[in-house]
Amino acid sequence: MKVLKLVSKNTTRHLLRTLLTILGLAIAVMAFAIIRTSVDAWYAGAEASSPNRLVVTNNISLVFTLPLAYREKIAKVDGVTGLSWAHWFGGTYVDPKNFFAQFAVDHNTYLDLYPEYLIPPQQLATFLSERNAVIVGRQLADRFGWSLGDPITLTGTIYPGQWEFVIRGIYTGAEETTDESQWFMRFDYLDERMRAEMPPRAGQVGSFIVQIADPSRAAQMSATIDSLFVNSLAETKTQTEESFQLSFVAMASSIVTGLRIVSIMVIGIILLVLANTMAMTARERVSEYALMKTLGFRPIHILGLIFGESLFIAGVGGVLGIGLAFPVKWLLETNVGGFFPVFTIEAITLMLGIVASLAVGLVAAVFPALKAVKTPIVDGLRIIE
């Protein structure tokens, strides 16, 4: 108990220095948590993928389309239990900066393959009955203040012109990691207009989504599907949904690697900040520790004082940093939600932040503690503050 009292007294002796150290640690821990969350956000799509869904795209690039007629052959492959298709629309809303994912999907089959999208039955029924109806995610609706029945106009970029829509459904995610920032319009609405205005672009889709009965046969079925279209004008590339999502991460692999390196460097910054404070503290109190030894305090008590103060500062800084991470995360969600649809601070990130802080607290106190214990009483008493 005496040691704990001394720890509390020592911590507040240089209050400004202690507060600045805690603030520095808090900012570093906050940065660590946000950087880790950003890395997790890149992988959110892959982690939320279903093992029983395959994605079929053009073998050359996602930019190139596939004939809708391919659905007949794909549906006949043994093991296929569901089939749908989707196409990137790429319109702009009010301002080109308002980016969000927009897909023209087959209204009869697409949503059946994605049970993680929860849509009220009445809203779904309306979507199925109106060609210009759209379903949007809750996060996207909140971002723009949309409500059911709102008319929305998008300016086409890939498909020129003004496109009129009405919001008939707002879906929510079954899981916290479900993307709620997407826009689903009806493919037939897009295809009909293309047949009237640009016939060569009609009957083309960006990807087929294939539901399979046995995920263990994913590789075999992917090869089977691709073999159907070898030497065709549009050869296919079939892969699991997880692999498809990871291909987007691979495009930004250097960014992700950079973020990982920075997160490690942040831990180093925490260590340097706290180590500097503890070194100054131990140097200032050499004579005090020597006097304590003459009064009967054992080395374990000296170690307890130094490690206790270091762990206290590190712990408070870590907790404060974790607390600061949540408002910063909210600000990022608000401003860059279109790029990071799922931006959630995971429990493992919070735990790592606290553990890293305490680990740094221990490491930062090692050398000052050893020096204080090993310094002879006579040498310590010679130092006059």
Rounded to two decimals, the pTM is 0.72
Cα 87 to the center of its chain, rounded Å: 25
Q: What is the pLDDT of residues 247-273, one digit of tens each?
A: 766 666 667 677 778 878 877 877 777
- Count CA atoms within 13 Å of residue 279 on its CB side: 9
Q: Are 375 and 282 in contact (CB under 8 A)?
A: no
Maximum separation of any 2 CA atoms in the chain, in Å: 97
Q: What is the pLDDT of residues 58-105, one digit of tens each?
A: 999 888 999 999 999 999 999 999 999 999 998 999 888 888 899 999
Distances (CA, A) of 83 to 62, 79, 208: 19, 11, 7
> Using the 8-state DSSP alphabet, how is residue 95 labeled?
B
DSSP, collapsed to helix, strand or coil, labels residue 154 as strand
Backbone phi, then psi, for 370, in 5-degree steps?
-65, -40
* All structural domains of the chain with their residue ranges: 2-45+254-382, 60-234
Looking at the chain, the whole-number percentage of residues with pLDDT higher than 70 is: 87
Per-residue model confidence (pLDDT) at position 150: 95
Q: Tabulate helix, strand, coil % of the chain (nearest 5).
A: 60, 20, 25
Per-residue model confidence (pLDDT) at position 46: 57
DSSP, collapsed to helix, strand or coil, labels residue 346 as coil
Which residue numbers in the chain have pLDDT < 50? none
